[in-house]
Structure 1
Amino acid sequence: MDILYPSLKVGAAAGGVGLFVGAVGGIMRNTTPVLFSLFSGFQWFTLGSSYTASKKIVTTAWGGEENMTSSDMVKASTIAGGSAGLVGGLIRGPKNLVPGAIVFSLLGAGGQYAYNAYARTAESRAEQRKNKKSWLDSKWSPLTPLTDKQYESLLEEKILRIDAEIAIIDDNIAAIKAAEGKKQENKEPSTGAPPKSKA
């Protein structure tokens, strides 16, 4: 199923394109568009499914795409293209076997090479964007970019500092209240009765 389903999926997509191309070609050649479209769709389906199946078989035999280099992928696509060309040559006649295998081998190799080049370029651009410094990184910038962890630790430091300042203020308030209480005690008059005068 790992080979059959993807092959049929690609083949169906290629067959749909083949039906459209065949219909257009049949109309332009003034032939029966329906028959031309059906034959073209069948041929494209066969080429797409056989190419995908062959490439899956080769990549699986070589350890999977994740373990293959770019040159290995080009080789696998070349082999798959040659296999698809042989199948297409069988449909069109025995004399088309060798030319079909050669042409589709070159197409497979060229297509994979172009894809590898595009993938390398896209990866390089992504890496450049990742490593590109922002204007915030300039030494002349008054702002400094912070990560989430740096921002979190900075907030924690500020909260601790504020808590310490609040504790100091509370201590000062308590000391002031205690001092005021002592002053009030010293100002209060004695409650004893005054001495009586002699008659």
Structure 2
Amino acid sequence: MESVCGSRCGLCVVCGLCPAMTAQHHPDQLTHPREVAWQAALLGGAAAIPGTAFGAFYGTLRTQTPVLFSIISGAQWFAIGATFWGIRTSMLNHAGLLNWWNLTRGAPLHPHYHLNPSPSDKVRASTVAGALTGFSLGFLFRGPRNVIPGTIMFGLFGWTGQHGYDYLDARNSRGLRAKAELREMGEEKPKANFMHKFAKSKWSPMSVLSDEEYENMMQEKLLRVEAEIALIDDRIEAFRKKAVEMETQRKTEKVQELAQMQK
């Protein structure tokens, strides 16, 4: 019995297990070329932004047509970013692209085991993508003499960039794991922001205090205020006593004056 996809296994007719039909329920097994092209266009557009800015700056300083130079520079950066990312994504998803091609022809699909590529796969894909980008765009933009240098340099850029990204990603992952462990142990320390880091430097006129240090400082200020209040109370009491003594002395003197007048 012939199936819908053209094969003679008859699975789709009997139990609906034809790979071409079950692939609809497993989108991870397929990679549409349109998705690869869209991702490449997005990264190319992101690369075109700094390329256009650099072209405008350089063109203003060195050329008489800065607008045209910035447009050409942005287009070149777009081509570099889109080509590199398109080749890299295609290499990392070659099984998914092959399954999409098999699905269009009615051929059986192959299991896609490389859903999570290893670091070595990413390094290899970035290096090859960089070399092919330098080869193709070097020939297109600079001519045959720049093919070999462009291939070598862009291959090194891809290799170095992927290793640098993997290093930073691994360091960030270690930091997140350490924070998670401290959070579980209840010993997580608050992350210092830019102002805290600046305040802790020896050149800063400010200082950062912990809760305990701030509480101790406020207690010292409170004790100092209470001591000053006690001194003020003592002075007030002394003034009162002196006022009473002066009033008593004045009354005594007045009585003595009246006594002398009566005599």
**Normalising by structure 1, what TM-score?**
0.63
Change (3 A) 1:54 1:135: closer
1:43 and 2:92 equivalent?
no
**Who is 1:78 aligned against?**
127
Q: CA RMSD in A?
A: 2.0
- 1:34-59 Cα offsets, whole Å, 9 max, x none, are 22112111111110100010001110
- 1:140-161 Cα offsets, whole Å, 9 max, x none, are xxxxxxxxxxxxxxxxxxxxxx
Moved more, 55-64 or 35-44: 55-64
What residue identity is the alignment partner of 1:123?
S
1:120 and 2:170 equivalent?
yes
The correspondence for 1:88, drawn from 137, 140, 145, is: 137
The correspondence for 1:13, drawn from 43, 46, 52, is: 46
Number of residue pairs the alignment of both structures matches: 136
What residue identity is the alignment partner of 2:128?
I
For 1:28 and 1:11, locate their aligned partners in 2 and report how far apart those are by CA, in whole Å. Answer: 25
For 2:159 and 2:114, locate their aligned partners in 1 and report how far apart those are by CA, in whole Å. Answer: 16
For 1:64 and 1:135, locate their aligned partners in 2 and report how far apart those are by CA, in whole Å. Answer: 40
Change (3 A) 1:128 1:100: same
1:85–1:104: 8 Å Cα contact kept in structure 2?
Answer: yes
For 2:126 and 2:180, locate their aligned partners in 1 and report how far apart those are by CA, in whole Å. Answer: 32
**Who is 2:61 aligned against?**
28
SS in 2 for 1:67: coil
The correspondence for 1:134, drawn from 186, 194, 205, is: 186
Change (3 A) 1:71 1:61: same
Change (3 A) 1:33 1:102: same
Give the superposition deviation at 1:17. Answer: 2.0
Moved more, 90-99 or 104-113: 90-99
**Who is 2:99 aligned against?**
none
Identity, % of aligned positions: 33
1:68 and 2:117 equivalent?
yes
**Normalising by structure 2, what TM-score?**
0.48
- 1:118-141 Cα offsets, whole Å, 9 max, x none, are 1111111111111222259xxxxx
**Who is 2:152 aligned against?**
102
Give the superposition deviation at 1:12. Answer: 1.5
What residue identity is the alignment partner of 1:101?
T
For 1:11 and 1:56, locate their aligned partners in 2 and report how far apart those are by CA, in whole Å. Answer: 13
For 1:109 and 1:135, locate their aligned partners in 2 and report how far apart those are by CA, in whole Å. Answer: 39
Give the superposition deviation at 1:87. Answer: 2.7
Change (3 A) 1:121 1:32: same
Change (3 A) 1:135 1:78: closer
1:50–1:87: 8 Å Cα contact kept in structure 2?
Answer: no
Change (3 A) 1:115 1:81: same
For 1:52 and 1:87, locate their aligned partners in 2 and report how far apart those are by CA, in whole Å. Answer: 14
What residue identity is the alignment partner of 1:36?
F
